[in-house]
């Protein structure tokens, strides 16, 4: 994984007045200094131990408030220290570990404060992510994918939607499964908000249904298709080596020995995607179509498995090859996989599980915000 950030810094002589009175319900925008002298404020930071705050008074409502130099808020810690704790946590150190690390440099911070800092950054990241979806303009291609994590020992599903081009997280939902009913409303809402045209996903039926229902063009990830075909071919095995091959079902045109050859053809088709692939699939399907569907609990014959695989590829061929006609598509769901791999799984590997699902939302939002940025992310924006 790659994270590039800029940490905020205290600018002890830079002060900015608020655009609007901080008092709830007052829209005043004119302020007068209240008392001339500034007051010293102790601050925890890498470079400064105190700064000067000034009091101002709202000309409209009379409310007085303090202003602090850039990089400092009412909090005891500077924005830089907050951002440092968030960054260390994202890099894989536990809440307690971050506190220990900072303490060893003389920077006092409790484990609970580290936790609060990470969650607060997550809340801001999620707000930004929501604003991106609402006002960030069209995202023609979105990717969707799911994964599973444990929260207090219980498995929960995580469904993510990303901008396929930039890798930005557009939405994250906690789900019980990857069924159509479970994930469709969430994916469709984002698709509509960003005016998506194409959905990229893996081979699950849920995504196929969602793409159809939402009228989106659908790209099934190329590497998933190749992997799935290889897996089925592998499981069908090398029939020609069997000493006592099973009997060929009635009406089937591919003999036991031809199955291996047909498997190679399928593996070639999904890799090379020749223009006459659908005709080839039709011919192959014809060789197996006489196989009867097995009764429940009956073993699936290799002919039946071939029939199913060929049918599946044939019926999905437009979705498998969409990227051959769509310049912006690379045929993979890499944007989603990177987000899940780097920003969900990799971070999760080093911890003992999440305690709250809200924490997953916050941590993933902030890691992907930092991770997907094209330039070093200015962490000061989390405290703007």
Among 28, 92, 97, 249, binds Zn ion (CB under 5 A): 28
Nearest CA among 371, 376, 336, 344 for reference residue 142: 336
* Residue 67 contacts Zn ion per CB under 5 A: no
For residue 181, how many C-alpha atoms fall within 13 Å in the half-sphere facing its CB? 1
Nearest CA among 270, 267, 272, 266 for reference residue 288: 266
Nearest CA among 79, 86, 77 for reference residue 107: 77
Q: Least distance in Å: CB of 71 to Zn ion? A: 25
Nearest CA among 65, 52, 66, 69 for reference residue 11: 69
In this complex, which beta carbon is closest to Zn ion, that of residue 57 or of residue 139?
57
Q: How many CB atoms neighbour CB 36 within 10 A?
A: 7
Q: Is 198 helix (H, G, I), strand (E, B) or coil?
A: strand
Q: In this structure, what DSSP letter does residue 251 have? A: T
In this complex, which beta carbon is closest to Zn ion, that of residue 31 or of residue 303?
31
Q: In this structure, what DSSP letter does residue 25 have? A: T
Would residue 369 be called left, alpha or beta, if left means φ above 0 and alpha means ψ between -120 and 50 degrees? Answer: alpha
With both helix axes pointing from N to C terminus, report the angle between 357-371 and 111-135 in degrees, rounded to the nearest 10: 70
In this complex, which beta carbon is closest to Zn ion, that of residue 63 or of residue 285?
63
In this complex, which beta carbon is closest to Zn ion, that of residue 21 or of residue 194?
21
Q: Least distance in Å: CB of 62 to Zn ion? A: 7
Q: Least distance in Å: CB of 21 to Zn ion? A: 3
* Residue 21 contacts Zn ion per CB under 5 A: yes
Q: Least distance in Å: CB of 63 to Zn ion? A: 5
- Total of residues contacting Zn ion (CB under 5 A): 8
Q: Least distance in Å: CB of 19 to Zn ion? A: 12
* Residue 40 contacts Zn ion per CB under 5 A: no
In this complex, which beta carbon is closest to Zn ion, that of residue 1 or of residue 17?
17
Q: Least distance in Å: CB of 210 to Zn ion? A: 49
Q: Which of these ranges, 46-54, 62-70, 99-107, 221-229, lies near Zn ion under the rule CB under 5 A? A: 62-70
Q: Least distance in Å: CB of 41 to Zn ion? A: 22
Largest Cα span, the chain: 99
Q: Least distance in Å: CB of 107 to Zn ion? A: 36
Q: Is 219 helix (H, G, I), strand (E, B) or coil?
A: strand
Q: Which of these ranges, 53-61, 71-79, 311-319, 328-336, lies near Zn ion under the rule CB under 5 A? A: 53-61
* Residue 22 contacts Zn ion per CB under 5 A: no
* Residue 64 contacts Zn ion per CB under 5 A: no
Among 3, 9, 12, 23, binds Zn ion (CB under 5 A): 23
Q: Which of these ranges, 16-24, 261-269, 318-326, 357-365, lies near Zn ion under the rule CB under 5 A? A: 16-24
User: Got the DSSP string for 48-110?
Assistant: -SEEEEEEEEETTT--EEEE-EET--SSSB-HHHHHHHHHHHHTT--HHHHHHHHHTTT----
- Residue pair 25/15 in contact by the 8 Å Cβ criterion: no
- Which spans of this chain sit near Zn ion (rule: CB under 5 A)? 21, 23, 26, 28, 58, 60-61, 63
């Amino acid at each position: 994984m790659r994270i590039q950030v800029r940490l905020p810094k205290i600018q002890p002589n830079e002060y900015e007045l608020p655009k609007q009175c901080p008092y709830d319900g007052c829209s005043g925008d004119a302020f007068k200094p209240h008392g001339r002298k500034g007051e010293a404020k102790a601050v925890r930071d890498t470079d400064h131990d105190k700064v000067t705050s000034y009091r101002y008074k709202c000309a409209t409502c009379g409310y007085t408030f303090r202003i602090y130099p850039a990089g400092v808020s009412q909090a005891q810690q500077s924005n830089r220290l907050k951002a440092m704790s968030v960054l260390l946590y994202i890099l894989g150190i536990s809440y307690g570990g971050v506190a220990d690390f900072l303490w060893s440099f003389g920077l006092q911070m409790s484990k609970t404060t580290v936790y609060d800092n990470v969650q607060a950054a997550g809340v801001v990241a999620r707000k930004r992510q929501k604003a991106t979806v609402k006002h960030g303009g069209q995202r023609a291609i979105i990717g969707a994918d799911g994964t599973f994590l444990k929260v207090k020992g219980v498995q929960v599903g995580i469904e993510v939607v990303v901008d396929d081009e930039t890798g930005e997280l557009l939405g994250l939902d906690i789900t019980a499964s990857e069924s159509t009913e479970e994930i469709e409303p969430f994916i469709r809402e984002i698709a509509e908000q960003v005016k998506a045209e194409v959905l990229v996903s893996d081979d699950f039926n849920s995504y196929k249904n969602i793409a159809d229902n939402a009228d989106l063009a659908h790209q099934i990830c190329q590497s998933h298709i190749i992997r799935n075909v290889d897996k089925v071919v592998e499981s069908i095995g090398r029939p020609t080596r069997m000493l006592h091959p099973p009997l060929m079902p009635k009406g089937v045109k591919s003999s036991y020995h031809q199955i291996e050859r047909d498997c190679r053809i399928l593996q070639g088709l999904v890799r090379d995607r020749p223009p006459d692939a659908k005709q080839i699939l039709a011919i192959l399907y014809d060789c197996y179509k006489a196989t009867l569907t097995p009764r429940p609990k009956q073993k699936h014959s290799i002919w039946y498995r071939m029939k199913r695989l060929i049918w599946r590829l044939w019926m999905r061929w437009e979705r498998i090859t969409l990227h051959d006609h769509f310049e912006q598509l690379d045929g993979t769901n890499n944007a989603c996989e990177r987000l899940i791999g780097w920003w969900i799984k990799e971070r999760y590997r080093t911890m003992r599980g999440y305690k709250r699902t809200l924490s997953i939302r916050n941590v993933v939002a902030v890691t992907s915000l930092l991770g997907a940025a094209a330039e070093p992310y200015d962490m000061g924006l989390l405290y703007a």
